[in-house]
Structure 1
Amino acid sequence: MAKLYFRYGAMNSGKSTALLQAAYNYEERGQRVLLAKPLIDTKGADQIESRLGVSRKVDFLIGQDDVARDLFAEHQARVRYTHDELAGLSRPPAEVACLLIDEAQFLTADQVDDLLRIAVLDGIPVLAYGIRTDFRTHAFPGSRRLLDIAHTVEELKTICRCGRKALFNARVVGGRFVFEGDQVAIDGVEARYESLCAECYLHESGGRLG
């Protein structure tokens, strides 16, 4: 049975790099994959961007009101159609070997449920990558649901500026840490993020959590 995997980590833990490496590994063996990410993640537009400088265009974007399984089925059919068009009827239809999702924390709980359906009912492994908590240490809805139902949960580790394991994602605006604001604020002029261990986070927040 195919499985739903959730691979999470703090910012700069190499999640996008790991996703792109997984896609490469599948394709190196002649297998077709589909890449997707939530539309709300405007950083990189329709690209998955690694901090190592590697990028790749996604096959589709998932809007907040979209049914993830329907979108997957649509693009899976496109893969088969393109294959059949090129190969005629001399070979079996092309199958998608894996669905890879970047920034999975921005999915809705219903969309995460669809990822499980894709894995279990459609027989396609789903690898979802994302961060667990926001800058206030609250779980994102997508991450919370992935932690609830994923077959396998794996932490991708990175370090804090002090050398300890980073646990939290702190928001920096105008060069200062902030602990108020909307849950979603994509990297850019107004906000950036730094991965901190629990001790450094509590030091910067004055002991505050949430």
Structure 2
Amino acid sequence: MTLSASASPLRFSHPYESFHHSPAPHSNTAPNIGMNTPAQIASIVSDLTSTARHGMLRAPALALPTISMAKLFFRYAAMNSGKSTQLLQIANNYETMGKAVTLYTSAIDDRYGVGMVTSRLNIQREANTFDAGFDFLAQDYGDTACILVDEAQFMTPEQAQQLHRLAHTRHIPVICFGLRTDFRGHPFPGSAWLLSLAEDVEEIKTICQCGRKATMHIRIDGQGHRVKEGPQVEIGDEARYRAVCGQCFHRD
């Protein structure tokens, strides 16, 4: 069987995220055969064999964002979902291709040292920091091929607007990673603006202890009891926060 890779009806939204498949009428992509009968499966396999014989079955393309597709990306998730791991992998992928990246993280996140992007897989690298007064537009990005921002929930609304303008006026892809809401379920101002402005928004999935998809997180005290009141920002790791599903979030 010979497969043609001349074009691709499958689209990766980003090289480190699952691809989305939206087949058009008369799609030449493989169907889902999970619950079909043996006769239906035999028919599907026959159709695929015929399609491949005529060179119509095509492999997916994989590409990093370039200046021709510069826009603002926002990848959000509950805590402990691998956001920083994905950021560091993307940075590595660009640099392996000989392209420069600029990394940022929040100056208030000192869990692993100020100015450090750290994965729970014990991968770490230095990054520039931003605080509430930082101006992303005032920086010289030189030959930067991509800007990567960790802990983006701590940005101000103005900084989210700056990054949107930067992507479209300087033609540099900007990929932000962060939480969507705080421990009370209230949106972080920076995240609310990123959700409004980003052209490409995607959830990074993780699971709750109960097995459902975690979409929220809760704050806990030193004895493991839930804390429902307090300041929005309180830096902490698994000892202070837990990713939960909506049902567990609303459980008293």
What TM bracket, shorter-length normalisation?
A: 0.7 to 0.9
Of 215, 219, 226, which residue of structure 2 is paired with 1:177? Answer: 226
Determine the structure 2 residue equivalent to 1:65: 133
Question: Larger relative CO (CA 8 A, sep 6+): 1 or 2?
Answer: 1
1:2-47 per-position Cα deviation (integer Å, ceiling 9, x unaligned): 1000000000111000000000110111100000012122222110
Tell me, yes or no, if structure 1 residue 24 matches structure 2 residue 72.
Answer: no
Q: Decide which structure has greater helix share.
A: 1
Q: State the 4+ residue runs in structure 1 displaced beyond 2 angstroms.
A: none
Q: Which amino acid aligns with 1:179?
A: K
1:99-140 per-position Cα deviation (integer Å, ceiling 9, x unaligned): 000000000000010101110001100000001000000000
Contact 2:107 2:129 in 1 (8 A): yes
Distance between the aligned counterparts of 1:149 and 1:188, measured in 2?
28
Q: Which segments of 5 or more consecutive residues in structure 1 lack a partner in the other structure?
A: 78-94
- TM-score, normalised to structure 2, is 0.70
In our comparison, the structure showing a higher alpha carbon Rg is: 2
Q: Which amino acid aligns with 1:180?
A: E
Distance between the aligned counterparts of 1:184 and 1:149, measured in 2?
23
Tell me, yes or no, if structure 1 residue 145 matches structure 2 residue 193.
Answer: yes
1:136-163 per-position Cα deviation (integer Å, ceiling 9, x unaligned): 0000011000000001001000000000
SS of the equivalent of 1:7 reads strand
Percent sequence identity is 48
Q: Which segments of 5 or more consecutive residues in structure 2 lack a partner in the other structure?
A: 1-68
SS of the equivalent of 1:171 reads strand
Contact 2:149 2:177 in 1 (8 A): yes
Q: Which amino acid aligns with 1:178?
A: V
Determine the structure 2 residue equivalent to 1:33: 101
Distance between the aligned counterparts of 2:244 and 2:237, measured in 1?
19
Distance between the aligned counterparts of 1:173 and 1:69, measured in 2?
39
- TM-score, normalised to structure 1, is 0.84
Of 47, 70, 74, which residue of structure 1 is paired with 2:116? Answer: 47
Question: How does 1:10-159 map onto structure 2 within 5 Å?
Answer: 10-44=78-112, 45-58=114-127, 60-71=128-139, 73=140, 76-77=141-142, 95-159=143-207
